[in-house]
Every structure is written in structure tokens, then in C-alpha cells.
Amino acid sequence: MLTLYGSQRSGSAAVEMALKACNLPCRKVRASSWEPDSARDKLRRVNPLGQIPTLVLEDGTVLTESAAILIHLGLMHPEAGLLPAAPAARAQALRGLVYIAANCYSAIGIIDYPERWTTSKSKAERERVRNGARLRLHANWEIFADLFTAAPYLTGERPGALDYLAVVVSRWSKTREHLAAARPRLLEVLERVEADKLVKPIMRRHFAA
């Protein structure tokens, strides 16, 4: 059986959606660098960065990086519709997945851990780093909204891997609030994705107040 290392409110929610779409059962292991009582030592043995999600395949192959995991599942299980069948649409979905990973997901790491991105010990300086990263994050989501305009979902007629990653990562660092004012059309798409019958229970379990 597949093993998914993850935690609440994390990117592992997007991988859970993809696994559900592929009808692939998995063993979930709660693990994260910020939860001392989780299986973080086991996580670091398979992923030295200690990052989630981490997916271990049946043969022991370790997959890390949300976009890479989603792309792998989409290629291995085309019937699940994680990636569009048409080459041009698939190319844009791949572009979108890597865009979110490189430009949005990565900014969250700076916002959450500004001390890793400055040599200053000053709390005020670290807060400036955090605020700058949040401004960049929101600007990157605006560009994403302008580039990826498919409807009713980001991948067309049905939710796919790009929708799953976007609906999760946009939950962090006041992105939805920003989009409501700056790019309401994208917010409408994300809310439509979140209402999908596969997505809704997973999002509720991860992000319920």
C-alpha cells in the first residue's frame, strides 16, 4: 500500500484528493516538522528535508514535492483525469503545477520561517521579510489568475491536479481574502473546486475551524 506522510492544513490534502481520484488507498502517517508528537523522525528517514507531503510507493520509491507527486499520479493513472488528455491543455496544467510550487508554495516557507531567510536576529527585520514575502505571494497569485483562465475549472470541464493544488495552497496566508478584491474570478473557480463532491470532504477535514 502507498504511504502518505502529511498533516492537517498542509499540502498533503492535495495529494489525498489525487489519490482519491485515482481510487488508490493509502496509509496516512501524521508527520510534520512543526508537530513534536508526530512521526517526524520516520519522515526524515525517507525525506531528509522533513517536508510534507511525502509519498512512498508500494516498491519503496519515495516521491517528494507536491507538483511532482501530482504529475506522477496523473501520468500513471490517465483515467483519473488529473491531467488533461489534450497535449496543449496538459502542457498548461503542468506549467500551472510548477508555477504554484515555485512561486506560491515556496513563498509560504519564507512567511512561516523568515528566520531562515535572513542573518538578522531582529524580530522587526524578520517581520519585514515575512511581509515582503506575503506581498510577493499575493502578486504571484494575481499573475496566476491572469495566466490560467480555463473554466469552469482550471483544467477545464472537471477538476484535476492543478485545481487540487491551487485550492489547497490558496488557503494559506490570506490569499483567498486578497483574491476576493484583486482577482474575484479566480476565487470563484477555487470555490467551485472546493464544492466538488470529491474535494469538499477532504477540505472540510483539513481546514475546518
Q: Show which of 32, 59, 80 is a domain's final residue.
A: 80
Domain count, the chain: 2
**Rounded distance, CA 64 to CA 188, Å?**
30
Q: Give the predicted TM-score (pTM) of the model.
A: 0.97
> 94 and 58: one domain?
no
| Domain membership flag for residue 35 | yes
Among residues 80, 103, 118, which one ends one of the domains? 80
Q: What's the confidence (pLDDT) of residue 208?
A: 86
One domain, residues 29 and 75: yes
| Domain contains 204 | no
Longest dimension (CA), the chain: 52
Domain-located, residue 136: yes
End-to-end CA distance of the chain: 31
Range of the domain at 22: 2-80
Mean pLDDT by 10-residue block, N- to C-terminus, for the chain (209 residues)? 97 98 98 96 97 97 98 98 97 98 96 96 97 98 97 95 98 98 98 98 91
Please indicate, yes or no, if residue 183 is contained in any of the structural domains.
Answer: yes
Q: What is the pLDDT of residue 198?
A: 98
CB 209: neighbour CB atoms within 10 A?
2
